Structure formats: C-alpha cells, structure tokens
C-alpha cells in the first residue's frame, strides 16, 4: 500500500470520525440520534457568506482572518446546537427515543428550508483558504497541506476530548450520564448542564467538519452535510451505540475503507463503491449486532 | 371568520389577471420552492418573455396567451399533483420542471390528456417519446451531444490525443455527458482514452481519484469531467490544487461564473453552451435576449439554462400557428416536421423518433484566469445515434 493511499485514507477517515463523534456524544447522554447534525454542518458552512439569493456569493464572516474565523464558526456551531437543544429537545426530554428522532428529522428539515429561504437553492462558491490545497512532498507521497492539517486537527481534537472526558468535571459527568443517566442524576449530576455541554461540543464538531468541507470543496450547498451525517450515523452504529471511542474508530475505518475501495476496485465495480462499503458494514453487524465496541450498559438486561 | 375571509376573497378577485373566455392557457407545473427552484425559475422567466412578445404581437391563433402555475416543491409526488392542478385551471399545454425525474410525473398527466408537454431544460432522451410519450418534448441539447461536442472540439482545436474520463455517478445527466464523449473520442484520429474513474457528487474528498490520475505515466491532454454543481466545483478545485493542469472539459450544466470563486484564477476549463451569457455571443438575438432578461429580472441570466425556456415557447408557438390548433397530436405532427428550424439560439430539429437535439451548434466557453469568455463554436460532425443515446 502506497504512502499516498495512507494519507488519503486518514484524511477521509478523520472527517468521518469527527462527524461520528458529534453524533455519539449526544446519543451517549440522551439516547437521541440527532439527524439534524448534517444541517448543523450546512448552517456552519453558510454562516461564512452573506445571506442572499443571488447566484454570486459574497463572503461575510468568511473574509475574516483564520485566527478569528475558526473560533467564531466553532462558537456559531456550538450556539446553534445549544439553541436547538433548548428550544426543541428540552421540551421533549421525556419523550420516547423514536419521538426524539422524529423531532430531530423535523428540525433538520426546518433548518434546511431556512437556508433555502435565506440563500436560495443554487450551490454557492466559497473561496476559503484556497492556498491550503498546495501539495507538500512527503517521501513518495504528494499530500495537500489541507489533508495534513485535517489529520493533525483530528488528532488534537480527539486527544483534547479524551483528556476532557477523563480529567474535567463536565467530562466525568458526561461519562456517568452516558453509563446510566437516571443513576447519575440521583448522584447529583445536573442533567441540563451535561446535555447542554454535549450539544455544544457536538455543534462545535459539526463546525469543524464544515470548515474542512469548505476548504476542501470550495462550495456551500444546502444539501451538504447529508451524506456525512449518514456515514457518521452508520459509524456510531458500527462502533456500538453510546461508545465514543467506538464511533471514532468506526468513522476512521469507514473513511479508510472507502478510500481503499476507490483505489483497489476494478473500474467496472468502482461506481458501486458504496455498495461494497455498506456490504461490509452489514457483515460487521451480522457478527456483532451490538457494534464493535458496545458499552456494557447498551446490552438489554433480561 | 366570515368577516375575515371576505376582504381576502375580494382582493383575490381583484388581483386575478383579467382574461377573456377565448384565451389560450399554458400551465407551468414547475418547482417554485425547494432546490430545483433555482434551475426552473430562470427558464420559466425566459418562457414568459417569449409569451409576452407573442401577446404583444397579437397573440397565438388570434388568442392571448394566459399562464397558470402550480408548485412541484421539488418533489416527485407533488409534481403529478401540480400537473393535475394546472389541468384543472384550464391548461391546454404544459411546461414541466427542468429535470426528467421531477418533470415526468406532471408530463405524464399532460400525456394522459393527449396534450403537449415541454420540459424546461431536460437533456436526457427519456424526457420525451421514450420516457413520457409521443407528445412530450424538450428544446435543450441532449447531454451526450454536449460530451461529443467537447470530444471533437478538443481534438480538432486543442490537439487533444489522450483523455481521462472522470464521471460523477450522481444523476443520469452526468452519465449522458460521458456516454457522448466515450462514443466520439475514440473514433477520432490518434485519440485514445487513457483511463477513467468515478466519484460521487457529495464525496467529501476525491483524493483517491486524483492519486490515480497522478500515477499515470503521462498526464492526459484533457480530463472529461462529467459532473454538476456542487460536486463539479469541488472536483475542479481539488484537481487544480493537486497540480493537475490538463484542460478540463464539462457539460453545459456548469455554465455560469457564480461558482468560479471556488477555484481562484481557474484556467483551462471549457464547457459547451447554447448561447453565451457573457455579452460576447456573435448572434445579436442572444444579447438582445440577455438584455430583455435583465430588464425583466434586474440581472442577466446566471447560466445558459434560461435559454431553452425561450426556445420551447418559440417552437411550440410556431407549430401551433402551422397546425391551426393546440390539439396535442396535430401540434406534435408539425413539430416533427421541423428540420433545422431557426431560433435565436441556433437551429432545432424534431423527428418521429426523437423529441430532442441529437446535434446542435454550440458555443464554446473557456475560462481563463478566472474569467469566462466565448472562445469558439462547434457542431458535431455527425448526430449522436439513437442507440448510443438510449444505451446509457
């Protein structure tokens, strides 16, 4: 396997891992599969440009220098997620998981239509950090700078998050809530704080995915985020619902498998790359229906 | 409640356009909301411009043309309902959504009534006899013709001898572009397709596909990119960022300068179009239309996809004049007699086998230093055969 392929696989897997983590965090604390996560990503992308239905996009926040822009977009992502929790999911706190899931679908549709109304249906060009596409020579591989940044950023985010979950009070409470929410509350974990915290982190991660996507593709489209959300959801299932490290591992795995299939399949089979990919997912679930790294608490006790 | 409704009803009655009993009604079952709206509205606006011109000149068969509308909401099921809706409003001809998938349900409603239907800009042979029925048409240029035009033009004018085909498997249109290119290019003297690959429009990255191109012993003269927005802009950005400088060809779908910011200072990118929106089309009628469009909407067309709307009303109205009726079968018979019928955007033909253009004079737009401009014009040396069009 060439070094080039390793970088391609890591970069795609890294994006999927961050997206999967965003879904797993919320599932962990409130058993909600947040199907609006893809729209959180799209909203963070569109926050870069001035609202207008004209074909030509004008950069708004996107014109700011990176040291200001990155934290600002992360804050917008986190703020949107916290707002969604307060307005939509908090009133539904005691609803069944299915009702919550339908609620998240509805929120996603509402957000998408909001974007359509504000920005129109045509994809927009966003020239964000075009210079990051420049290839860098590493041994035999020529790797775009952006890929290296993505791989490094994913590593930093995962390490930071692991540290936060292990060392900080909020992290401890989140892990406790993920293990057994009712018990954690009885022991004095403040549920609103934990859930808002999880949403804020998840929204921040959605914004990270948004920035990477824009820098990579140079376009903003109301439908973007949908495909990543799907892969991320599958990754959380494969990783084991409720397991954060499982979601990350499965996200990396699916991204890497996708890059490897694209490189390895014969030309006639390549259009069906995703069929092979999801065929693999089905195989994994046949042998481990609870996912690869299912937490103990996820097993139904009879 | 009654008191509330009365003024609204009165308002509605006032705002309804005054029309006489013998007006001729065209029904627009198109997307007025959802993502397809951005593509349907420009073509529908262009159709309105031609309708207003006809009305100003005394109407069609001595009758003024009236327009009724219904929204498909970019939804296949709603499309059929929108078709029934405009039928209830008295439509005698139906204009349906740009895309085959979203326009066909409404077009089938029209076909069931023996009525003519026109897709606003469909470029798949199914959007006509083969997929809807004998009275359905599109005035746009088939996707395989666009691919074949790119192949022959690049070979003749840019000495392209090696090509790499990169196909986005998202929609039928993309497959059509590649089908036309794959049919034409290998027939040309000394020309060879050195490799091909696929990607998906919403792929977060096409790094693996780029790695495959860079591993070729020699970089290809041209890359035939069969894609639409937003994937096309993303692919071009990633190809150029990776240092691949081959001439990139695409279909008409990526015409327009609105996406060029995605790859600053893009050069060597070529698309075939039905007319130039950039003010440099050699035919004065095209620029006259661009000005009329600007006067009506406040801005020039964002892409060439306004033009087929104008052409379809033009062709249909001519056929109605010749048939002396709006009856579907009679108008279809007149449309099928058209051979190189002149329009503002080039000659158009229909036959009993194909209600589409299997050859067309196309303007070649090239982007250099981030600026699009008309570089040339080209008409494929032979029409794309029906079996190639239908093979997919």
Determine the Cα–Cα distance for residues A97 and A87; give it in Å rounded to an integer.
17
The phi, psi pair for B234, rounded to 5°, reads: -65, -40
Domain boundary among B320, B335, B350: B335
Determine the Cα–Cα distance for residues A207 and A82; give it in Å rounded to an integer.
13
The tokens describing A26, both together, are 């919320």
Mutate to test the interface with A, among B38, B194, B207, B304 (most CBs of A within 10 A): B207
E strand or H helix at B27: strand B24-30
**Do B99 and B37 contact (CB within 8 A), yes or no?**
no
DSSP percent split of chain A into helix, strand, coil, nearest 5? 70, 5, 25
Token pair 């908090």: residue: A90
**pLDDT for res A245:** 84
**Do B165 and B193 contact (CB within 8 A), yes or no?**
yes
SS3 B288: helix
Do A134 and B241 lie within an 8 Å CB cutoff? yes
Q: What angle do CA B3, B8, B9 make, to 5 degrees?
A: 95
- pTM score: 0.83
Q: Would B325 be classed as within a structural domain?
A: yes
Measuring CA to CA, which residue among B95, B91, B118 is closest to residue B30?
Answer: B95
Q: Which residues contact B271 (CB under 8 A, 6 or more apart)?
A: B150, B249, B250, B251, B252, B254, B255, B364, B365
Specify the DSSP class assigned to residue A299.
Answer: S
**pLDDT for res A301:** 46
Measuring CA to CA, which residue among B170, B124, B91, B234 is closest to residue A274?
Answer: B170
**pLDDT for res B316:** 96
Q: Would B351 be classed as within a structural domain?
A: no
Do B198 and A226 lie within an 8 Å CB cutoff? no
> Per this entry, what is the length of chain A?
302
- Are B377 and B240 in a shared domain? yes
- Are B87 and B176 in a shared domain? no
Domain span including residue B206: 143-273+361-391
Question: Lowest-confidence range among A3-7, A45-49, A276-280?
Answer: A3-7
Determine the Cα–Cα distance for residues A43 and A206; give it in Å rounded to an integer.
9
DSSP letters, A192-220, are: HHHHHHHHHHHHHHHHHHHHHHHHHH-EE
Which residues of chain A have a CB within 8 Å of the CB of B205? 8, 11-12, 15, 216
Environment class of A148 (CB within 10 Å of its CB; exposed 0-12, middle 13-18, buried 19+):
middle
**pLDDT for res A240:** 85
Determine the Cα–Cα distance for residues A27 and B337; give it in Å rounded to an integer.
64
Q: What torsion, rounded to 10 degrees, do the Cα atoms B310, B315, B318, B319 define?
A: -140
**pLDDT for res A295:** 66
Q: Would B280 be classed as within a structural domain?
A: no
Q: How far is A59 from chain B (nearest CA, A)?
A: 10
- Are B315 and B255 in a shared domain? no
**pLDDT for res A120:** 80
**pLDDT tens per residue across all 392 residues of chain B:** 444 445 444 444 444 444 556 889 999 999 998 878 888 999 999 999 999 999 999 999 999 999 999 999 989 999 999 999 999 999 999 999 998 889 999 999 999 999 999 999 999 888 999 999 999 999 899 999 999 999 999 999 999 999 999 999 888 889 999 999 999 999 999 999 999 999 988 888 888 899 889 889 999 999 999 998 888 998 998 899 888 999 999 999 999 888 888 888 899 999 999 999 999 999 999 999 999 999 999 999 989 999 999 999 999 999 999 999 999 999 999 999 999 999 999 999 999 999 999 999 999 999 999 999 999 999 999 999 998 988 75
Measuring CA to CA, which residue among B364, B365, B368, B366 is closest to residue B267?
Answer: B368
**pLDDT for res B3:** 47
What is the Cα Rg of chain B in Å? 22
Which residues of chain A have a CB within 8 Å of the CB of B229? 122-123, 219, 221
Does A193 score more than 70 pLDDT?
yes
**pLDDT for res B19:** 53
A220 has which bridge partners? A124
**pLDDT for res B14:** 44
Determine the Cα–Cα distance for residues B44 and B120; give it in Å rounded to an integer.
7
Q: How far is B84 from chain A (nearest CA, A)?
A: 25
**pLDDT for res B96:** 96
B67 has which bridge partners? B26
Do A8 and B205 lie within an 8 Å CB cutoff? yes
Which residues of chain B have a CB within 8 Å of the CB of A151? none
- Are B63 and B120 in a shared domain? yes
Residues 180..209 of B with a Cβ closer than 8 Å to A: which? 196-200, 202-205, 207-209
Measuring CA to CA, which residue among A199, A216, A227 is closest to residue A42?
Answer: A227
Q: Would B17 be classed as within a structural domain?
A: yes
- Are B162 and B193 in a shared domain? yes
- Are B201 and B221 in a shared domain? yes
Q: Would B234 be classed as within a structural domain?
A: yes
Q: Would B40 be classed as within a structural domain?
A: yes
Which residues of chain A have a CB within 8 Å of the CB of B175? none
Q: Which residues contact B318 (CB under 8 A, 6 or more apart)?
A: B334, B338, B341
Q: Which residues contact B376 (CB under 8 A, 6 or more apart)?
A: B153, B157, B363, B364, B366
SS3 B86: helix
Residue of A nearest to B170 (CA): A271
- Are B68 and B167 in a shared domain? no
Domain boundary among B318, B335, B352: B335
**pLDDT for res A124:** 85
**Do A125 and B261 contact (CB within 8 A), yes or no?**
yes
Determine the Cα–Cα distance for residues A277 and A261; give it in Å rounded to an integer.
8
Which residues of chain B have a CB within 8 Å of the CB of A224? 202, 230
Q: How far is B47 from chain A (nearest CA, A)?
A: 20
Residue of A nearest to B200 (CA): A271
B245 Cβ under 8 Å from any chain A Cβ: no
β-strands B247-249, B269-273 pairing: parallel
Considering only CB atoms, B207 lies closest to which of A8, A124, A125, namely A8
Mutate to test the interface with A, among B205, B294, B301 (most CBs of A within 10 A): B205
B22 Cβ under 8 Å from any chain A Cβ: no
Do A219 and B257 lie within an 8 Å CB cutoff? no
Report how far Cα B300 is from the mean position of its chain's Cα atoms. Answer: 17
Residues 48..77 of B with a Cβ closer than 8 Å to A: which? 74
Q: Would B217 be classed as within a structural domain?
A: yes
- Are B243 and B383 in a shared domain? yes
**pLDDT, average across residues A75-79:** 94
Q: Would B278 be classed as within a structural domain?
A: no
Determine the Cα–Cα distance for residues A62 and A69; give it in Å rounded to an integer.
7
Q: In angstroms, what CA-CA distances link B43 with A79, B32, B82, B95, B293?
A: 39, 12, 18, 10, 10
Confidence of residue A297 (pLDDT cuts 50, 70, 90): low
Do A218 and B209 lie within an 8 Å CB cutoff? no
Domain total for chain B? 2
Q: Between residues B370 and A54, which one has the greater pLDDT?
A: B370
Residues 136..175 of A with a Cβ closer than 8 Å to B: which? 142, 144, 146-147
**pLDDT for res A53:** 72
Determine the Cα–Cα distance for residues A288 and A240; give it in Å rounded to an integer.
9
SS3 B163: strand
**Do A251 and A208 contact (CB within 8 A), yes or no?**
no
**pLDDT for res B129:** 93
β-strands A135-138, A141-144 pairing: antiparallel
Determine the Cα–Cα distance for residues A151 and A74; give it in Å rounded to an integer.
18
B174 Cβ under 8 Å from any chain A Cβ: no
A191 Cβ under 8 Å from any chain B Cβ: no
**pLDDT for res B1:** 43
CATH code for position B50: 3.40.50.2300
Determine the Cα–Cα distance for residues B95 and A51; give it in Å rounded to an integer.
31
Reading phi first (left if > 0) and then psi (alpha if -120 to 50, else beta), residue A64 is in beta
Token pair 């795995």: residue: A253
Q: Which residues contact B109 (CB under 8 A, 6 or more apart)?
A: B29, B80, B83, B84, B87, B94
**pLDDT for res A216:** 83
E strand or H helix at B197: strand B192-199
Domain boundary among B319, B335, B351: B335
- Are B228 and B365 in a shared domain? yes
Measuring CA to CA, which residue among B165, B172, B156 is closest to residue B250?
Answer: B165
- Are B124 and B7 in a shared domain? yes
- Are B148 and B108 in a shared domain? no
**pLDDT for res B12:** 46
- Are B324 and B264 in a shared domain? no
Do B234 and A219 lie within an 8 Å CB cutoff? yes
């Amino acid at each position: 396997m060439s070094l080039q392929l390793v970088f391609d696989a890591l970069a795609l897997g890294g994006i999927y891992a961050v997206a999967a983590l965003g879904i797993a965090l919320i599932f962990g604390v409130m058993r909600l599969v947040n199907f609006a996560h893809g729209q959180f990503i799209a909203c963070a992308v569109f926050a870069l440009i001035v609202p207008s239905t004209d074909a030509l996009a004008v950069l708004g926040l996107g014109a700011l220098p990176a040291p200001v822009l990155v934290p600002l977009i992360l804050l917008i992502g986190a703020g949107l997620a916290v707002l969604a929790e307060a307005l939509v999911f908090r009133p539904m706190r005691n609803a069944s998981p299915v009702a919550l899931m339908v609620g998240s679908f509805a929120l996603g549709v509402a957000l998408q239509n909001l974007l359509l109304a504000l920005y129109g249906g045509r994809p927009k060009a966003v020239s964000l950090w075009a210079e990051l596409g420049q290839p860098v020579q590493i041994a035999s591989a020529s790797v775009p700078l952006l890929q290296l940044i993505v791989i490094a950023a994913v590593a930093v985010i995962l390490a930071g998050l692991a540290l936060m979950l292990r060392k900080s009070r909020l992290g401890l409470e989140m892990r406790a809530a993920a293990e057994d929410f009712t018990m954690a509350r009885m022991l004095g974990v403040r549920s609103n704080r934990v859930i808002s915290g999880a949403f804020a982190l998840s929204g921040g991660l959605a914004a990270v995915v948004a920035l990477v996507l824009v820098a990579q593709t140079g376009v903003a489209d109301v439908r973007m985020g949908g495909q990543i959300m799907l892969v991320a959801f599958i990754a959380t299932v494969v990783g084991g619902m409720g397991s954060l490290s499982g979601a990350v591992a499965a996200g990396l795995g699916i991204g890497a498998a996708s890059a490897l299939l694209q490189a390895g399949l014969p030309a006639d089979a390549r259009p069906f790359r995703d069929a092979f990919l999801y065929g693999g997912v089905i195989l994994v679930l046949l042998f481990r229906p609870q996912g690869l790294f299912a937490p103990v608490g996820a097993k139904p006790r009879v | 409640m009654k008191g509330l409704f009365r003024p609204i009803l009165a308002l509605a009655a006032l705002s309804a356009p005054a029309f006489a009993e013998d007006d001729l009604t065209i029904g627009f079952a198109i997307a007025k909301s959802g993502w397809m709206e951005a593509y349907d509205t420009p073509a529908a606006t262009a159709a309105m411009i031609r309708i207003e011109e006809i009305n100003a000149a005394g109407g069609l068969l001595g009758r003024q043309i009236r327009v009724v509308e219904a929204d498909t909401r970019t939804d296949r099921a709603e499309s059929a309902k929108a078709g029934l809706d405009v039928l209830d409003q008295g439509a005698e001809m139906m204009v349906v959504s740009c895309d085959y998938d979203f326009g066909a349900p409404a077009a089938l409603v029209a076909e069931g009534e023996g009525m003519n239907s026109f897709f606003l800009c469909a470029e798949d042979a199914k959007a006509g006899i083969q997929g809807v029925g004998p009275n359905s048409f599109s005035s746009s240029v088939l996707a395989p013709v666009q691919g074949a035009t790119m192949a022959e033009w690049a070979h003749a004018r840019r000495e392209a001898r090696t090509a790499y085909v990169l196909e986005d498997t998202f929609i039928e249109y993309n497959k059509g572009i590649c089908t036309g290119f794959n049919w034409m290019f290998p027939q040309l003297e000394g020309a060879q397709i050195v490799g091909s690959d696929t990607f998906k429009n919403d792929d977060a990255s096409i790094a693996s596909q780029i790695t495959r191109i860079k591993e070729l012993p020699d970089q290809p003269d041209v890359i035939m990119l069969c894609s639409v927005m937003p994937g096309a802009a993303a692919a071009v950005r990633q190809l150029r960022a990776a240092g691949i400088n081959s001439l990139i060809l695409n279909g008409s779908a990526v015409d327009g300068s609105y996406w060029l910011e995605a790859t600053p200072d893009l050069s060597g990118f070529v698309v075939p179009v039905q007319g130039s929106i950039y003010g440099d089309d050699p035919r004065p009628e095209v620029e006259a239309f661009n000005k009329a469009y600007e006067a009506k909407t406040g801005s020039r067309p964002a892409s060439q996809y306004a033009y087929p709307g104008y052409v379809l009303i033009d062709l249909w109205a001519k056929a109605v004049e010749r048939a002396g009726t709006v009856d579907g079968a009679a108008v279809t018979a007149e449309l099928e007699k058209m051979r190189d019928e002149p329009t503002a955007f080039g000659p158009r033909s229909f036959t009993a086998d194909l209600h589409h253009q299997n050859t067309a004079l196309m303007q070649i737009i090239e982007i250099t230093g981030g600026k699009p401009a008309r570089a040339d014009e080209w008409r494929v040396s032979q029409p794309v055969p029906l079996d190639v069009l239908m093979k997919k």
